[in-house]
Amino acid sequence: MATIRLGDEAPNFTAETSEGKIDFHDWLGDSWGILFSHPADYTPVCTTELGTVAKYKAEFDKRNVKVVALSVDGLESHHGWIKDINETQNTIVNFPIIADEDKKVSELYDMIHPNADSNLTVRSVFVIDNNKKVKLIITYPASTGRNFDELLRVIDSLQLTAYHKVATPANWQNGDDCVVVPAVATADIPSLFPKGHKEVKPYLRMTPQPNLD
Ligand code: BEZ
């Protein structure tokens, strides 16, 4: 298992999922992706998480993001549990869940942290851009459900940097002013950011969020 770091290519794999076999890179295609693990099927926190992700599909689609979940349970377990998620979370699971019984993908992505649990995956999240590069890695403990609004916020920030040459300041929310990335020369700001900018310091240049009307 190699350490995966930001900027690395997301390792490819093939896997059985609740929606059929996938080759991860082929499945991603030109989309951004989220690969996230949860400890086990038929567990309470995971049930709420997967239901929440299903309800956020329109938000992920809007951002050209495909989502795939993973646990070390098998396909039969996934299919039974999906029925429970649909029933209890009032939704329809609309993304694949990898059945990683042989732990091939969990080990490839270092999702098992033996001092937390020797057999089950922790709550890992990998955000992968449309060039298959890893852009975000976060790890939550089994007992804490993830904040998927925060995940959308980070994806918005990553896409602003990728497409608009801005970064986002502390506690940034959609609509707030952004930071012009240091690689942009101050002389180039007026043409690149026609909405205007404020030079607080030579290294701190703020501009209105560029992708809003
Ligand atoms: C859960 O997945 O629901 C869970 C796992 C470990 C501790 C508490 C909750």
Query: Which residue among the candidates 46, 67, 97, 178 is catalytic per the annotation?
Result: 46
Q: What is the mean pLDDT of residues 95-102?
A: 98
- Judge whether residue 67 has pLDDT over 90: yes
Residues 169, 4: Cα–Cα separation, whole Å: 26
Q: How far is the CA of 22 from the centre of ligand 1 (A)?
A: 27
- Judge whether residue 213 has pLDDT over 90: no
Residue 2, pLDDT score: 75
- Does ligand 1 lie within 6 Å of residue 144's CB atom? no
Residues 191, 203: Cα–Cα separation, whole Å: 18
Ligand 1 atom nearest 40 alpha carbon: 2
Q: Are 121 and 71 in contact (CB under 8 A)?
A: yes
- Judge whether residue 1 has pLDDT over 70: no
Verify whether residue 178 is a known catalytic residue.
Answer: no
Angle between helical axes of 75-89 and 44-55 (0-180°, round to 10): 70
- Eight-class DSSP state of 179: E
Averaged confidence pLDDT in the chain: 97
The pLDDT confidence band at residue 195, using thresholds 50, 70 and 90, is very high
Question: On the CB side of 167, how many CA atoms lie within 13 Å of its CA?
Answer: 11
- Does ligand 1 lie within 6 Å of residue 143's CB atom? yes
Q: How far is the CA of 160 from the centre of ligand 1 (A)?
A: 34
Write out pLDDT tens, residues 149-193. Answer: 999 999 999 999 999 999 999 999 999 999 999 999 999 999 999
pTM metric for this prediction: 0.96
